[in-house]
Structure 1
Amino acid sequence: MSRYEEQQAPGIGATLKEARRRLRMDIKEAEERTKIRTRYLRALEAEDWEVLPAPAYVRGFLRTYGQILGLDGEALADRYRRTQEEPATAAPPEPVLRNRHSPGGSRPPSRGGLIAAIAAAIVVLVAVRAAIGLTSGDDEPDQSKRPGKAKEAKRIKNPPKPDSKPIDIKVEPLASTRICLVGGGEALIDSQVLTAGATEKFGGESKYRLDLIGGGSVRVQAGADEQKLEPGGNASYEADSRGIEEIDFAGPDCP
């Protein structure tokens, strides 16, 4: 769809609302089928983006809601990204600085005043260097001669940093599976039933929690690690830059 056609087409919210009404589906039924809260569904239909969480969640909502309504959810998410995310992230133009002159004009500083300013700066510099020389005599021991202390200070100054590298995660159901995916303390996939092939992608977080409620079959890629998960019942997994690891079941609440 060209830019002109996109501008002439109904908005994202109007498209969702019209599709829901065409199916004679009330907002409560839509909530039950998508597992997305009513206030978020109403915000999507009203294009009230301020009510909704981060853009990554909004794209996930649009994919799920669009799929339930028989629309191209991926196209809706892509349209949201182009119309709402890209304008917000565009860099503002750098200001152009111009010399301004007063109406009556301004005369450059006199040569005598400039020389006096330079001389004053030199005097201050000499005084500062002299003060440094007076306070850095032999009263204090040379720290370079105390290797034990120096090494200890170096260790304190440069403590090891935890592994907190942000990673991308991709969840691909191989069969209908109820999934909760948590990142940054919020639900990226809010206990929704995803059908086979409904791939979801997220990024920007250093750690994720994945709950498979009632078992299921999914392929998960977290950073460089990719695994096929097929638990026989409830199961939870933790994913970070080191890989994917099974943990105690943290559900069914999401997050």
Structure 2
Amino acid sequence: MPAIGESLREARLRHNVDIGEVSAQTKIRGKYLRALENEEFDQLPGPTYVRTFLRTYAEYLGLDGALLVEAYRAEHGAVTEDEPLTPFAPGAAGRRGTRDRGLAGPAPMLSGPLPLVAAAAVAIVAGLLVIGLVSGDDDGDDPTPPPVGAVKTETDTEAKQRAGGRRESKRDRSNGPITLEIAPATPTYTCVDDGAGEVLFEETISEAERFKGKVLRVNLGNGQAKISVNGETVDIEGGPNPIGYRFNAKSEREIPDGERPCQL
């Protein structure tokens, strides 16, 4: 039987993806993915969820999910509870920069029985969201999309600015540390660094998070979030696509795809 944690970690590193990206794609919380790689199965809610998340993570990486589940059963004994269907893992194709190639390898992620259970698995994901075991906060709130009117309509000027790769605005502020608050409308992959490439935070968040520093750079999985600097709301590029910004006390500017935190 294969070593479960070692197999998962080696496959993830071989495909050059990080925990935050896997969490965003599979909707499994980062701490549970790390627990699977470390074989700390007691950190998960129970054996059923160990098997479910293990199969989903393995198949996302192109591994044999059934084989790793069998290895877990052999080591920890059989259980009598019914096992839920594996949550549907979204396509592995990356959404940014060099990650666009997906998880190519000898064992494609969507091979085997996964496509046959996709429709039913979507319902399972919805149920897991309700009890807060899939990516999201612990109280299990089912994320709801923003109202139709909440997505900002792009003007011609903004389109030109975005095509140029940068948007920048300046305000009259002192040149000191800032408090940056990110309040997502839906569970959102978030990476924050110190402006020099040192990652301060990487996780999928479902509620407001605050960060402090003189310069902060942000990479978000989508633009459906409210961002404020020192309590002042910042006008960002809204919508379902990933966005990136650099903030300091005097200004903020958009960061082009491929240059954002956690992309290098």
Band the TM-score falls in, shorter-chain normalisation: 0.3 to 0.5
TM-score, structure 2 as length reference: 0.35
| TM-score, L = length of structure 1 | 0.36
Point out which structure has higher relative CO (alpha carbons under 8 A, 6+ apart): 2
